[in-house]
Chain A
Amino acid sequence: DAGVIQSPRHEVTEMGQEVTLRCKPISGHDYLFWYRQTMMRGLELLIYFNNNVPIDDSGMPEDRFSAKMPNASFSTLKIQPSEPRDSAVYFCASSLEPGRDGFTGELFFGEGSRLTVL
């Protein structure tokens, strides 16, 4: 079974530009998470979805960040306009819902999208 797929793997852009990161979760998973990883702050949960519905976006740093999940197999994280301090690795992860067959509590991570904003 394919894992969590993220694109692009690397993105270099200039300040002020719009950035869109994409994620395809593991088929059948109920939860989708967006994390940001930086040297200074480590792994931060930005937002998560349950059955395509955003549940908690309290980790989204500011209004420049938005995330959508139009269907069970696709999510986007958008930054508009981007700033140099947004430079980080953005991870998408998915998991089953507690109580479902096969639930182990584990989050399954994609390989990340490394964003550099100049």
Chain B
Amino acid sequence: AQSVTQLGSHVSVSEGALVLLRCNYSSSVPPYLFWYVQYPNQGLQLLLKYTSAATLVKGINGFEAEFKKSETSFHLTKPSAHMSDAAEYFCAVSVPWNNNDMRFGAGTRLTVKP
């Protein structure tokens, strides 16, 4: 079965600094990969997804992620953090023909300091 590992349960950056949230996946077949964001007291909202097209995926709010098969990674980046980016971020993996077995990482809480 597929799985994801998010490195770092907490990441703290200064406003304006680069955001890098790490995700490594394991899958025996070409995966679909997702980043979701969860703001306090809200549900999970899709930031971006990789579904076997372009390896560099752009999402909402200036975030992007690059699928690197050789590194089995799908790290999330944003060039300049904003206070409103403070939230919990989840990486998830599924297989193209079956999103019933989507596996989520443990989450990374992003703090943005003024």
- A61 adjacent to chain B (CB < 8 Å): no
Chain A binding site: helix, strand, loop or mixed by DSSP?
A: strand
Looking at the complex, which of B11-19, B22-30, B94-102 is the stretch in contact with chain A? Answer: B94-102
Task: Judge whether A105 and B51 touch: CB under 8 Å.
Answer: yes
Task: Judge whether A107 and B43 touch: CB under 8 Å.
Answer: no
Task: Judge whether B49 and A105 touch: CB under 8 Å.
Answer: yes
Residues of B within 8 A of A33 (CB): 100
Task: Judge whether B106 and A111 touch: CB under 8 Å.
Answer: no
Chain B binding site: helix, strand, loop or mixed by DSSP?
A: strand
Q: How far does the Cβ of A30 sit from chain B's closest Cβ, in whole Å? A: 10
With A104-B49, A105-B51 known as contacts, the answer to whether A56 contacts B99 (CB < 8 A) is no
Interface hits, A88-118 → B, CB 8 Å:
91, 93, 95, 98-99, 104-112, 114
Point out residues on B near A: beta carbons under 8 Å.
Answer: 32, 34, 36, 41-46, 49, 51, 90, 94, 96-100, 102, 104-107
Contact sample, A vs B, 29 pairs, CB 8 Å cutoff: A31-B99, A31-B100, A42-B104, A42-B105, A42-B107, A43-B90, A45-B102, A48-B100, A56-B100, A91-B44, A93-B44, A98-B97, A104-B51, A105-B34, A105-B49, A106-B34, A106-B46, A106-B49, A106-B99, A107-B44, A107-B99, A108-B46, A109-B44, A109-B45, A111-B42, A111-B43, A112-B41, A112-B43, A114-B41
